[in-house]
Amino acid sequence: MIITLSGKPGAGKTTVAKILAEKLGYKFYSTGDLRGQMAMKRGLTIDQLNEIGTKEDWTDKEVDNLTKEIAEREDNLIFDSWLAFFFIPKSFKIFLEINPQVAAERVFIDQRPDEKHFDSPVGIEKMLNERLEQSRQRYLKYYNVDFLDKSHYDLIVDTTNLSPVEKVVDKILISLKQL
C-alpha cells in the first residue's frame, strides 16, 4: 500500500508520516525535503525556489517526476507531499487540517534551515498563508489541481487539538484497519 499525506503547513505532515512509516514498517519520502535540498544546493531558500516556480515549471516537475518513479517501482511507502495524491491515484490519500494560528506557533518552534527565520509566530503565519496560496496557484497552473480541495482525499484529520502527534497517528491507523 502507498499512503500519501497532504495538508496545511504546520499540521504535522512530516512528523505524522515518519511515525506512521515506522509503525507500519514503510519507507518514508518527503517532497518538501527533496525541494529543500534542491533549493539549498542552488543557494536558495525554499521560498526563493517557489518564487522561481511561479514562472518556471522545472522546480515542480523534477520532484513530481521522481515521486511518480518511486511509486511505480516501490510499495509500502508513505509520501509527505502536497501533490503525491495526484501523481499516485491508487494511494490512500490523507489530508491534515489545522487552525492557521496553531500552525504558525508549531512552525515557529521548529523552524527549518532552508526557510527564512522569523522572530515571532505572526510573521510565520503570514509566510505560511502566502506559501500556501502561491503553491496552490502553481499547481492549478501546471496541473489544474487544487490540493486544498478536500474531495481528493480518503481521510481528513484536523490536528489542531490532537496532541500528542500519536493521537493523529492512532486515528489514521484505525482508518487503515477499516479498509
CATH of the domain at 45: 3.40.50.300
For 108-114, which contacts have Cβ atoms below 8 Å and span 24 or more sequence positions?
112/36, 112/46, 113/40, 114/36, 114/37, 114/39, 114/40, 114/45, 114/46
Residue 2 contacts residue 77 (beta carbons within 8 Å): yes
Number of domains in the chain: 1
Buried b (16+ CB within 10 A) or exposed e, 29-65: bbbbbbbbebbeeeebbbbebbeebeeeeebbeebbe
Three-class SS state of 155: strand
Q: What is the DSSP letter of 150?
A: G
pLDDT, residue 113, reads 64
Among candidates 35, 36, 38, 32, which has minimal Cα distance to 18? 32
The model's pTM is 0.86
Phi, psi angles (nearest 5°) of residue 4: -110, 130
Residue 172 contacts residue 92 (beta carbons within 8 Å): no
Q: What's the domain range around 75?
A: 2-177
Q: Can you give the pLDDT of all 179 residues of the chain as single tens digits? A: 999 999 998 899 999 999 999 999 999 999 988 888 888 899 998 878 888 988 898 988 988 998 999 999 999 999 999 999 999 999 999 999 999 999 999 888 877 765 677 888 898 899 889 989 988 998 999 999 999 999 999 999 999 998 778 899 999 999 999 98
Residue 174 CA to residue 177 CA, distance in Å, equals 5
